Amino acid sequence: MPLDIAILVSGRGSNLGAILDAIKAGRLDAKVRAIVSNKDGVGALEIARRFGLEAKVIPSAGLAREEHEKLLFNYLKEFEIDYLVLAGYMRILSPYLLKKYEDERGFYRVVNIHPSLLPAFPGKDAYLDAFQYGVKLSGITIHLVDEDVDHGPILAQESFPRLPGDTIDQFRARGLAIEHVLYPSVLQQLAEQKEHQYASARGKR
Ligand code: GRF
């Protein structure tokens, strides 16, 4: 039983590509029900096309957060999904949209990837912030989203070093390579959880 997901993107789309690659290779048992970008003309749309998937553009420019999320949810509500997956989605989600994905324990079924060891370096360019701070060790965090920015229950973290003489580009590339393995593998864990829950619910009948 695959994990049903919708993926939100805003830019380059390398994490989207990594997730789609993992599905194709059979490393991730997931079904991408929808892909939405809040920006037109971005790399993520081209990546979706390459995999033969339709990606919807719902522009957010000039719209208040909730106004945009109403349009977004109006589209997303057509799809039965287990998780909303943020893959380089550069908008903060408001409680309006989060509450649509609230589970029975009060958590939101929304996953995000952030390129630092949270709670260190939340924000838009965590690679640069960590690099400029002079950290010797940074990392990648995958977490459930809550009402605060880059915050919520941590599902996985993986660290990587800043090596002597690293440029910011080398530092970013080291982290990005980890992102591309970690995100699909955490989603696969969620797929396995779904499978277990389904099997135990069946067992109880
Ligand atoms: C990644 O570094 C991700 O951790 C952060 O935004 C970046 C998105 O990159 N949230 P891409 O669009 O997936 O290539």
- For residue 140, the ligand 1 atom closest to its alpha carbon is 4
User: What residues act catalytically?
Assistant: 114
Residue 205 has pLDDT above 70, yes or no: no
More confident site: 64 or 205:
64
The whole-angstrom separation of Cα 118 and Cα 57 is 30
Tell me the HSE value of 63 on the side-chain side, using a 13 A CA sphere: 16
Quote the pTM value. 0.96
Provide the percentage of residues in the chain whose pLDDT is more than 90.
Answer: 95
Q: Which residues line ligand 1 (CB under 6 A)?
A: 11-15, 87-88, 113-115, 179
- Give the per-residue pLDDT at 200: 87
102: amino acid identity, one letter: E
Whichever domain contains 120, its CATH number is 3.40.50.170
Average pLDDT of the residues of the chain: 97
Domain that holds residue 157: 3-203
Q: Give residue 202's pLDDT band: very low, low, confident or very high (50, 70, 90).
A: confident
Domain count, the chain: 1
**In the prediction, which pLDDT does 53 show?**
98
Is 70 exceeded by the pLDDT of residue 116? yes
Report the atom number in ligand 1 closest to the C-alpha of 43: 12
Could you give the 3-state DSSP secondary structure of residue 172? helix
